[in-house]
């Protein structure tokens, strides 16, 4: 009992001493000063140089967007264990002087840091508050750049860090003549930003000048400048709030008895009644904090790709509550609690994890920018267009078949709508269709580019999608087709039109027929199709080859129970003398998931009408897992302008082999084409012959034998898919003697079929 009392007494005294120590801590520590002397030293900005703002359009990237890395400084202001976690997430850019680098490297290696994801940036620094003095990364149009500001601390090395990283990345540096710090800035990546009133106070209360510079250098407009609900200390927004997504903001919440609780509530109410960039009020999430001197720095967290690193405080119950709030607000993210027991660099309510790190945006990210978000109750439309920009900062092309709208009607399975170009720069549209009045619609936009960057809006996809309600249906007594004109500028393009039933009754779509010779491929619903009142359907049209007609336009006729309608297709700027090509792409890909598929090769010399001679077609096999039987016209083949040459592919599995990829090569006097072929894994599900079979001699120049206990049939094919031999079906033989003496020399595929239908394929060489 005495031991228990002594332990309790010690813990209580320790807690009292800790609180007293915190209460005695001078203001310079709370204000991110290195000492009381530094706090009283005039600010020197020898390193800052003002420049004109970016000539292009600036976009200040949000913290929750894709990051290629994170900046820290050594000696550290964060636990080494956190560096381990960060290095397994992305690249860690560690600012370190050359004299400290060996120490940093040794410390990291000992702790288990992934050193392949660590880059040391040699530069002198004065402090570890990288958030405050580090570079502000932006895109200027499609190019990365850095915006610098006047750092209001007497630390010239820290103030020079933007120049250091502009040189490191070899990207432009713009000097914005404002006193500002990273801790007092958060942005949504779409032009909205938040700071508290410190930014006005530090810049002579010239609000107009501050707002103009934030707009011109960073693209921030509107700029939400609030009160500082903490009321003292450092007055940085990351000590009490945080953007979690373009429409989500986290605000700390204090007990009602706390003197600052009403100020926190006022800021939260401001955002709850202010529209986000998507046109509706922010979703405000409150994270409870005990207030006073109890450590609870939960808004001072770091979002890094799909992880959120949350600094933990003194109270376990509040810690768990904070984690729960993040989990609710950011479904699908990995919420990582971060403890810091190193007294010399321990967390504080005004200085924690966010203050000591800074994300580095992915210079090659794919940005999905769907601004006109559908929300609330939408006025009835038979289809809802979803318009989005896709910006591939990598410079690589977008994957045209991977620009998609995913949508769910009344909680059902997600459907997919392919997006097509609108004609405006970087802009695409897809349509949500097939719903009834009063339906609840969830949706999100997905994009991918050829550099394998992918992104969704919202980033939470189906875990927390955009949502709207379909309004009441008001019949118009019309069947509408929109758009009624499709514009094509290249072969392989796909455009869409919608058939909308605005009448009070059902309408039957009988046929959808393109004009003869137009070389269109039309995806349509199974016809005839019953289009219910208020319903719509999307039809996809792909230009396979340009039409052989002078006016470069043709019609699509739509016959319905209400009469005949027409869509006009227009073709412009198509290259007519492109030679031999595969519709859709010069280097095409094909996944075989059927027993037989077809490749179409076209002579695109529409202007010169020059024929092309196809001289060879063959398979380039990577291993023996699969063979392709190819069939086509006899070679050489003279392909007239506008004519199509068809090649049929039939895959033949070899039992016991894994899935492989291969190529089909088409050689001609114009150019050689390569078709990348991928075998669907489902086709590998071939049942083996139940007893071992043998084929001998192999190679052979005459007779060969197929031997097996339960062989019912033997088929032999050459490599162009022609069957050259077949035994009589149904008669079980132990040995099958086959004469190949009159066959052409080459490779053959022998299918050995058992009584139960299982098949094994063997390769035979005839000399």
What is the rounded CA–CA span in Å between residue 764 and residue 748?
A: 5
Strand bridging mode 733-739 / 143-150: unpaired
Count of CB atoms within 10 A of residue 321's CB? 15
Strand bridging mode 143-150 / 173-179: parallel
208 Cβ contact partners less than 8 Å away, ≥ 6 residues apart: none
125 with 163: CB under 8 angstroms?
no
C-alpha distances out from residue 678 to 355, 427, 597, 717, 763, Å: 49, 31, 12, 22, 21
Given 90, 94, 276, 355, the catalytic residue: 355
Dihedral of the alpha carbons of 16, 19, 20, 25, in degrees to the nearest 10: 160
374 with 441: CB under 8 angstroms?
yes
537, two tokens: 């359907």
Task: Describe the crossing of helices 80-87 and 101-111 by its angle, rounded to 10 degrees.
Answer: 80
417 Cβ contact partners less than 8 Å away, ≥ 6 residues apart: 386, 404, 405, 407, 430, 431, 432, 433, 538
716 Cβ contact partners less than 8 Å away, ≥ 6 residues apart: 723, 724, 725, 726, 738, 748, 749, 750, 751, 764
670 with 612: CB under 8 angstroms?
yes
What is the rounded CA–CA span in Å between residue 7 and residue 529?
A: 80
Q: What's the farthest any 2 CA atoms get from each other in the chain?
A: 105
Specify burial of residue 20 (Cβ count, 10 A radius: 0-12, 13-18, 19+).
exposed
Question: Tokens 């035994």 identify what position?
Answer: 727
Count of CB atoms within 10 A of residue 261's CB? 16
In angstroms, how far is CA 168 from the centroid of its own chain?
27
259, two tokens: 């003197």
13 Cβ contact partners less than 8 Å away, ≥ 6 residues apart: none
621, two tokens: 């096999």
Q: Encode 529-568: b = buried (16+ Cβ within 10 Å), e = exposed.
A: eebebbbbbbbebbbbbbbeeeebbbebebbbeeeebebe
What is the rounded CA–CA span in Å between residue 260 and residue 266?
A: 10
What is the rounded CA–CA span in Å between residue 258 and residue 252?
A: 13
Active site residue 355: yes
Question: What is the SS3 assignment for 383-416?
Answer: CEEEEEEEEECCCCCECHHHCEEEEEECCCCCEE
Active site residues: 355
């Amino acid at each position: 009992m005495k031991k228990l009392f002594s332990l309790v007494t010690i813990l209580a005294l320790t807690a009292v001493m800790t609180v007293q120590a915190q209460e005695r801590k001078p203001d310079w520590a709370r204000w991110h000063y290195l000492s009381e002397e530094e706090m009283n030293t005039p600010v020197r900005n020898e390193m800052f140089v003002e420049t004109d703002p970016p000539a292009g359009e600036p976009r200040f990237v949000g913290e929750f967007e894709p990051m290629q890395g994170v900046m820290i400084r050594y000696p550290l202001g964060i636990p080494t264990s956190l560096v381990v976690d960060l290095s397994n997430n992305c690249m860690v850019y560690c600012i370190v002087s050359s004299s400290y680098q060996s120490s940093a490297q040794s410390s990291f290696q000992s702790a288990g840091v992934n050193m392949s994801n660590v880059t040391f940036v040699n530069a002198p620094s004065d402090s570890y508050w990288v958030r405050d003095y580090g570079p502000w990364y932006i895109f200027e149009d499609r190019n990365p750049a850095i915006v610098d500001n006047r750092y209001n601390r007497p630390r010239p090395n820290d103030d020079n860090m933007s120049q250091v990283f502009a040189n490191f990345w070899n990207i432009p540096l713009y000097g914005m003549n404002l006193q500002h710090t990273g801790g007092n800035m958060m942005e949504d990546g779409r032009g909205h930003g938040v700071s508290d009133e410190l930014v006005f106070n530090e810049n002579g209360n010239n609000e107009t000048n501050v707002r103009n510079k934030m707009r011109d250098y960073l693209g921030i407009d509107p700029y939400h400048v609030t009160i500082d609900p903490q009321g003292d200390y450092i007055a940085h927004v990351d000590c009490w709030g945080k953007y979690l997504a373009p429409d989500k903001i986290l605000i700390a919440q204090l007990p009602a008895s706390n003197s600052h609780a009403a100020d926190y509530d006022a800021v939260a109410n401001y955002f709850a009644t202010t529209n986000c960039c998507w046109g509706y009020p922010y979703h405000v999430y409150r994270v409870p904090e005990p207030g006073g001197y109890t450590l609870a720095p939960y808004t001072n967290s770091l979002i890094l790709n799909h992880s959120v690193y949350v600094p933990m405080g003194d109270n376990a119950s509040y810690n768990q509550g904070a984690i729960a709030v993040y989990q609710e607000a950011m479904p699908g993210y990995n919420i990582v609690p971060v403890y810091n027991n190193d007294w010399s660099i321990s967390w504080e309510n005004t200085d924690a994890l966010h203050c000591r790190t800074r994300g580095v945006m992915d210079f090659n990210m794919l940005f999905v920018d769907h601004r006109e978000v559908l929300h609330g109750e939408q006025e009835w439309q038979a289809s809802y267009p979803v318009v989005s920009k896709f910006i591939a900062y990598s410079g690589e092309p977008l994957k045209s078949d991977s620009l998609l709208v995913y949508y769910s009607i009344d909680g059902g399975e997600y459907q997919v709508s392919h997006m097509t170009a609108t004609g405006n720069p970087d802009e695409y549209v897809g349509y949500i269709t097939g719903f009834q009045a009063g339906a609840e619609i969830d949706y999100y936009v997905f994009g991918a580019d050829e550099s394998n960057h992918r992104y969704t809006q919202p980033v939470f996809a189906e875990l927390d999608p955009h949502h709207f309600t379909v309004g009441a249906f008001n019949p118009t007594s019309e069947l509408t087709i929109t758009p009624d004109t499709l514009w094509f500028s290249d072969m392989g393009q796909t455009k869409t039109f919608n058939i909308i039933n605005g009448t009070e009754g059902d309408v039957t779509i009988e046929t959808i027929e393109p004009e003869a010779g137009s070389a269109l491929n039309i995806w349509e619903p199974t016809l005839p199709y019953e289009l219910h009142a208020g319903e719509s359907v999307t039809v996809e049209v792909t230009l396979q080859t340009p039409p052989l007609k002078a006016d470069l336009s043709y019609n699509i006729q739509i016959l319905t129970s209400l009469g005949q309608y027409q869509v006009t297709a227009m073709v412009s700027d198509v290259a007519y003398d492109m030679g031999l090509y595969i519709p859709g792409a010069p280097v095409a890909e094909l996944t075989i998931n059927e027993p037989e598929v077809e490749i179409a090769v076209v002579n695109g010399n529409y202007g010169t009408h020059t024929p092309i001679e196809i001289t060879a077609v063959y398979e380039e096999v990577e291993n023996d897992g699969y063979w392709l039987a190819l069939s086509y016209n006899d070679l050489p083949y003279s392909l007239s302008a506008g004519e199509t040459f068809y090649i049929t592919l039939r895959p033949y599995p070899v039992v016991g082999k894994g899935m492989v990829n291969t190529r089909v090569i088409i050689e001609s006097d114009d150019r050689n084409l390569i078709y990348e072929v991928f075998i669907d894994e489902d086709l590998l599900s071939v049942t083996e012959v139940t007893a071992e079979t043998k084929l001998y001699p192999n190679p052979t120049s005459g007779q060969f034998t197929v031997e097996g206990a339960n062989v019912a049939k033997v088929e032999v094919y050459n490599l162009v898919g022609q069957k050259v031999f077949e035994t009589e079906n149904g008669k079980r033989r132990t040995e099958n003697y086959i004469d190949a003496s009159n066959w052409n020399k080459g490779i053959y595929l022998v299918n050995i079929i058992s009584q139960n239908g299982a098949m094994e394929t063997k390769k035979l060489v005839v000399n």
